[in-house]
Structure 1
Amino acid sequence: MPEITSANLITAFGITLAAGLFTVLGSGLVMFSKTPNPRLLSFGLAFAGGAMVYVSLTEIFGKSGEAFAKAYGEADGFAASTAAFLAGIAAIALIDRLVPNPHETLDAQDPAFQENRRQHVARIGMMAALAITAHNFPEGLATFFATLESSALGMPLAFAIAIHNIPEGISIAAPVYFATRSRKLTVLACLASGLAEPLGAVLGYTLLQPFLSPVVFGSVFGIIAGVMVFLALDELLPAAKRYSDGHETVYGLTSGMAVMALSLVLFHF
């Protein structure tokens, strides 16, 4: 279990906050960009997905096993980390089932942009904001605890989540801006959803801090690994494929894995 200092906490919170604020960038793309580049977004989403899957399975899952091994031994520790990983997948799958996470298209001709009944579109925006906010809580907790363990581990994960937050901002901003034509309200809606990530980090740490131990850290990291893999496979890669017009998805996926792998190799030196 790493030594936790005030500097560690401030750094972890700051990185989590920065990742959450990228949701606001999605509102800017809706309000100011007449010709968003779907192929670039496709590459970026796949890049984030590849990075998240790689770091989850090679580093975060390993950290879970190391922590559990201190309490239960190597064999039982691996079994415990596997159980935590599967529990993370089950938890985020349940959240996704109960509160589906919608994503808007970048197509300005989409019916949601042309809908005449503004109140109906406003309700769509509210539902999107609530759904995405629910999904942002575990993402914030993942970023915070990964950074608390190691900035070298947390920062790449935060970068991947930040890219992932851009289309989530679009999902909120598109219907809200169409319904209200208010840039202020659109930005505030995206900001409120993005702030769910640092809020999730604070709430999670506050609840778990009195009980921090190798078992708790092992559980958290195993669950985080499961959540990140599910999000990458369920949200990032399908969204990347929707926006692609060629091989952007596979290029982004492999590039994300390669960059993450190289960064971890350099860190271990």
Structure 2
Amino acid sequence: MNFLLNLAAWQQALLATLFTWGLTALGAALVFAFKTIRSNALAMMYGFAAGVMIAASFWSLLDPAISLAEQQDRTPWLVVATGFILGGLFLYIADKIIPRLYLKHNRHPEGRRTQLKRTILLVFSITLHNIPEGLAVGVAFGAIGAAASGNQSAMILAAITVAIGIGLQNFPEGAAVSIPLRQSGMSRTRAFMYGQASGVVEPVAGILGAILVASVNMILPYALAFAAGAMIYVACKELIPEAHARTTAESHWAIFGIMAGFTLMMVLDVALG
């Protein structure tokens, strides 16, 4: 931990987002072992990722945002609500402007019409919401330098849990890109390259988020809440529907995954915090 505290915020964010990118690549590497993954396993993986993100959004982002707003003598509920809504609105607008291809069968691209190939759209869809995930990690680490010296140890633990949570949900995303591409006839190596490439934007977004927050202390609580709103949007719009789409009405694997992911991240946040 002392090693991390001695690094600049952008360096901390870079290391953390390289970790999250690595888990994306690890998930994509499943294509070398499997051509398909059982539906129940995928459902639980997506559910687990959603549970992790929901828990991390509150304990690692919204709760610190409330505390920081109070320290700055602002109205905590207004600051946090504003940032949270803006985070969700950011991804909603991106959904409408940028062509999307969701992972369910028989879905169609949203937004403006495009002639891009399905494979490019598939990668682009995952890559799009990796941007706010990278920002979330960068914001969390940028908050460390902006916090009072007595709070830095707690803040770095919170930032680490954010990185762990996002990394865990990146693992099934990597597989969700590479394995369908392999099923469509693409070579394993090329499918893996597309899968891991979807996480490339996270280090870039993480560095930008860390530099911005560390430079402008006043926006810190808004930025934390913004990152939480973006994460909740991803969980509700992408991960939870995808988890349920992988199971039958009688199956509860998606719910088991959500509960397990939420519990794990809650325990990590409370214990480490």
Bin the TM-score by the shorter chain. 0.7 to 0.9
Find the aligned partners of 2:52 and 2:176 in 1 and give their Cα distance. 23
Q: How many residues align?
A: 250
Structure 1 equivalent of residue 66 of structure 2 = 65
How far residue 136 of structure 1 moved from its aligned partner, in angstroms, is 1.3
Partner of 2:255: 250
Q: CA RMSD in A?
A: 3.0
Aligned twin of 1:165: 170
Q: How has the CA–CA distance of structure 1 residues 204 and 96 changed in structure 2, closer, same or farther, with 3 Å as cutoff?
A: same
> Which residue is equivalent to 2:119?
125
Q: Secondary structure at the residue paired with 1:6?
A: coil
The C-alpha deviation readout for 1:23-53, integer Å capped at 9, x for no partner, is: 2234333343034232122212212212211
Matched, 1:205 2:206: no
Structure 2 CA distance, aligned partners of 1:14 and 1:206?
14
Name the CA distance, whole Å, in 1 between partners of 2:99 and 2:27: 19
Quote how far apart the aligned CAs of 1:239 are.
1.1
The 8 Å contact of residues 25 and 171 in structure 2, kept in 1 or not, is answered as yes
Q: TM-score, normalised by structure 2?
A: 0.78
Greater shift after overlay, 80-89 or 94-103? 94-103
Instruction: Tell me the residue number matched to 2:200.
Output: 195
Q: Is the Cα–Cα contact under 8 Å of residues 122 and 175 in structure 1 kept in the other structure?
A: no
The CA deviation string for residues 32-80 of structure 1, in whole angstroms up to 9 with x for no partner, is 303423212221221221221122124411211222223234xx13211
Alpha-carbon deviation of 1:175?
Answer: 6.1
1:1-269 equivalences in 2 (<5 Å): 5-6=6-7, 9-73=10-74, 76-99=75-98, 101-104=100-103, 123-148=117-142, 149=144, 150-174=155-179, 176-177=181-182, 181-210=186-215, 212-213=216-217, 215-245=218-248, 246-268=251-273
3-state DSSP of counterpart to 1:194: coil
The question of whether the paired residues in 2 share the 8 Å contact of 1:61 and 1:222 is answered with: yes
Q: Which runs of 5+ in 1 are unaligned?
A: 112-120
What do residues 105-129 of structure 1 show as CA deviations (whole Å, max 9, x unaligned)? Answer: 6xxxx89xxxxxxxxx981111222
Letter in 2 for 1:23: T
Q: Which amino acid aligns with 2:135?
A: L
Amino acid corresponding to residue 117 of structure 2 in structure 1: R
The 3-state SS of whatever aligns with 2:198 is helix
Partner of residue 118, structure 1 = none
Q: Residue 97 of structure 2 aligns to which amino acid in structure 1?
A: L
Structure 2 unaligned segments of length 5 or more: list them.
107-114, 145-154
Residues in 1 aligned to 2:11 and 2:38: alpha-carbon distance in whole angstroms: 35
Q: Which range moved further: 221-230 or 62-71?
A: 62-71
TM-score of the superposed pair, with normalisation by structure 1: 0.79
Structure 1 stretches of at least 4 aligned residues deviating more than 4 Å after TM superposition:
174-180
User: 1:205 and 1:155 mapped to 2: Cα distance?
Assistant: 14
In terms of fraction of residues, the more helix-rich structure is 1
* Identity score, percent: 24
Amino acid at match of 2:20: A
Which secondary structure does the structure 1 equivalent of 2:55 belong to?
helix
